[in-house]
Every structure is written in structure tokens, then in C-alpha cells.
Amino acid sequence: MPPHYLRLTVYSKIDISTKYPIQVCFSEINVHLWENPTKIKVISNWRVSIEPYVLNQLSLMLRKQISISTKYNEYHSLMNYLTKTGITLLDLIDFRDAVFFDQLNSIYNIRFSYAERIQATRLMKVKNNSNF
């Protein structure tokens, strides 16, 4: 079952992604607005935070069963990449093969063998021919 989310209205000069749920670090401070004491949350940092449940469901839709957890470094690397670049998962998988592999390398700091690239290219062709 997906977790429940806390919704916040944020006014910020920081460019915060609206494409995915995010995690925020904040401090609560007291201010006086129109002579009334009010608590506000001041965001000090944020990052994309897609629930592993959602990614696991997506993998099932793509007919590739995987088990993603927040305990995995790969999960954190992907969230950091999405935060840093501002792109979506769809943008990522729609890259040309060479760019796609370069991006995967920048996310996970791995090099793909020629055989792995061929296999992944075949999977990409299946994805492109599917009726989603």
C-alpha cells in the first residue's frame, strides 16, 4: 500500500521540482505577520523522493520485476540524479542509446560492456514497440 503524503504549500526562490514528490529539510521559526505570531517552515534543502513502491509498480508495468528499496545506494543515486538534472524518468529512457548509457554511467558510476549495451538496446527496442 502506498504511504500517505504530507502536502505543504511553499513559496520559494529555490527552483523546486514539481514533477515528483520531494523530501525537504526545514526549520520552524516564529515570525510576526500582521502583528500575529506565526510559525513558518524555512526549507534548507530538498530532493526528489519517489517511493520505492511506485518504482516497483512501474517495473511490473514494464514486465521487468525488480525490488527497489531506500536501503540501496542505487535508489539514492537515481533520486540525486533526478534532483540535480530536473529531468523525468520518461526523459531518461527516451534518450538515444549512447546518451542513455552515458547518463546511467553518471548516475551509477558504472561502465557497460559491449554485450550489456547490446542487450539493453534490444530491451529499448521492445519498449519502443510496446503498446503503452
Whether residues 72 and 26 fall in one domain: yes
- 1 in a structural domain: no
Among 49, 66, 36, smallest CA distance to 3 is for: 49
The secondary structure of the chain in percent helix, strand, coil, rounded to multiples of 5, reads 40, 20, 40
Q: What integer pLDDT is reported at residue 83 of this predicted model? A: 92
- Among 51, 69, 86, identify where a domain stops: 86
Q: Which residue range is the domain that position 54 belongs to?
A: 15-86
Residues 21 and 77 in one domain: yes
Looking at the structure of the chain, the number of domains it has is 2
Computed over every residue of the chain, the mean pLDDT equals 78
Q: Give the pLDDT confidence of 87-120 residue by residue, as tens digits.
A: 888 888 888 877 887 888 788 776 666 556 656 6
Chain centroid offset of residue 121 CA? 23
Residue 96 lies in a domain: yes
Domain annotation covers residue 102: yes
CA 75 to chain centre: 9
Mean pLDDT within 36-65:
85
Residue 57 — very low, low, confident or very high, per pLDDT cuts 50/70/90? confident
Taking 70 as the threshold, does the pLDDT of residue 82 lie above it? yes
Query: What does the alpha-carbon distance between residue 29 and residue 38 come to, in Å, rounded to a whole number?
Result: 8
Q: Do both 98 and 71 map to the same domain?
A: no
Look at residue 130 and tell me if it is in a domain: yes
